Structures are given as structure tokens and as C-alpha cells.
Amino acid sequence: MPTIRSISDLRNRADEISRICHATAEPVFITKNGREDLVVMSQAAYEQDQARLELYSKLDEAEAESEAGRGAVAHEELMARLKSKLG
């Protein structure tokens, strides 16, 4: 269940909202005049979301290359490349 707080809570209880964000690793939704306005989250949760989005983007690129027939490498060649990088 999402945590929803008013903008006055953000102003008056910022420390409490910060603790909630860090403890749950979930965003807190802020309302203004009863309507959705902001989303507050911890820096760690934000960075995790950004990393996830970057990964999805890279997976989309790889899938597009694969469908276009570009970038395909035989299993044996890939393993040889990896082994040479490992030493």
C-alpha cells in the first residue's frame, strides 16, 4: 500500500518522511490540495530505479540488434573472449 502524505506534512515532518523513504525503500506520494503533486524517495532507491532503467534500455538495444542480425557471437567465441580477459 503506497504511503501518501500532504504537502504540509512534507514541510512540517520532513525528517519523518525521510525515515519512511529509507526504511521502506519505497516512494512517498505527496498531495497538494488533495491532488497528486510530488513523489519523494531516498537517493538509494532513486539510483536503483535509474540503474534498472539503464539495464532495460541496454536489453532493448541488444534485442533490437539481435533481431536485426547484428552483434551475434557464437558461444565458443564469446567464451574465448571472456577467458582471455580473465587472464
Best CA proximity match to 49, nearest among 41, 61, 38? 41
pTM of the complete model beyond 0.75 = no
Q: What pLDDT digit, counting tens, does each position of 6-37 carry? A: 999 999 999 999 999 999 999 999 999 999 99
Asked if 29 contacts 36 with a C-beta cutoff of 8 angstroms, the reply is: yes
Grid cell, residue 41, equals: 524517495
Cβ atoms within 10 Å, residue 39: 11
Domain ranges of the chain: 3-41, 44-86
Q: Kindly state which CATH superfamily the domain 3-41 is placed in.
A: YefM-like domain (3.40.1620.10)
Question: Rounded CA gap, 20 and 18, in Å?
Answer: 5
The residue whose grid cell reads 501518501 is: 4
Asked if 31 contacts 7 with a C-beta cutoff of 8 angstroms, the reply is: yes
Q: What pLDDT digit, counting tens, does each position of 33-49 carry? A: 999 999 999 999 999 99
